[in-house]
Amino acid sequence: MDSSASRQRLGLLLGFIGVLIFGGTLPATRIAVSQIDPIALTSLRTAIAGLCSLALLVWLRRPLPPRNLWPQLALAMLCVAILFPLLMSLGMQRVDASHGGVVLGVLPIATALVAVAITHERPRPLFWVASVAGAGLVIAFALRQGGGALVAGDLFLFASVAVAAIGYAFSGRLTSQMPGWEVISWVLVIALPLSIPAAALTVPEDITRIAPAPWLGLLYVALFSQWIGFFAWNAGMAIGGIARVSQVQLLQPFVTFALAALFNDESITLQILLFAAAVVATVAISTRMRGQAPPQQDRAPPQPAS
């Protein structure tokens, strides 16, 4: 068997595993916030993942990142480890996971827009058309689902897309300086001085009254969505190539729908599927139309919603 083809298959497999993991984020969060406050959930999620990251970095004796990278790590930490999970959790208190899957489906476009701004790419005109179309479809979907008005859950999800796009773009840029798993691990370690005190202050008073399912949801988003999923995703792109493996990301909304139907007892309507398919199409077009780019090490790879 050709070694190049084998590497591409391995890269696609790892990328698909990452998408499966990230696709479970919204359903797991929806279950967790049924009994755990979003602030507590965010604090606990980030603290648990941060402590695991610290243990791994110490065990592998990884050196501290260079000083010039700390501002970018701090910005990624604020966006990816604090604001995104908090805003997404607040959204999941108010709308279904399948609804969130459509809204967050536009995240790759938002990330690409931020990456274009910070790397000075010159995308083709069709990239901008697809980006505007994708954003318009998501807004139209939210308005249709909300009876002609945007509900609070949508506003939280839109805000989560914005901050995640910034965090993922800068995280992706950092992968030219260190492995992707190390980037997310340092991001979570940097958050520990905030996440541990916040977790201690917000942990539910009577944890015995919380059913097992919300605890499992918390552990899932802490260990898999916030941490392990990035290992598989970044390794897949490194092995199989960013352009090829990133296309697997187009399956994520449909993974979310399947898991939401299975674990959250949500009804996936034809309208949801059609809007999701249309959003995925705009993401596919925008991904292909980013056009002329700076050297590969400066180009931010796409990141799924975690």
Per-residue pLDDT, 11: 85
Confidence band for 292, pLDDT divided at 50, 70 and 90:
very low
Per-residue pLDDT, 115: 82
Each residue's pLDDT tens digit, 250-278:
889 999 999 999 999 999 999 999 999 99
C-alpha to C-alpha distance for 120 and 257, rounded to whole angstroms: 35
Alpha helices by DSSP H, 146-224: 152-174, 180-190, 192-202, 212-219
In the predicted model, what is the mean pLDDT of residues 42-50?
97
Does the pLDDT value for residue 290 go beyond 80? no
Length of the chain as a residue count? 306
Confidence band for 295, pLDDT divided at 50, 70 and 90:
very low
Each residue's pLDDT tens digit, 117-139:
887 777 788 888 988 999 999 99
Tokens of 64: 């501290």
Instruction: Single out the residue of 271, 250, 260, 277 nearest to residue 107, CA to CA.
Output: 250
Confidence band for 300, pLDDT divided at 50, 70 and 90:
low
Domain parsing of the chain, residue ranges: 3-298
Tokens of 126: 């069709």
C-alpha to C-alpha distance for 155 and 167, rounded to whole angstroms: 19
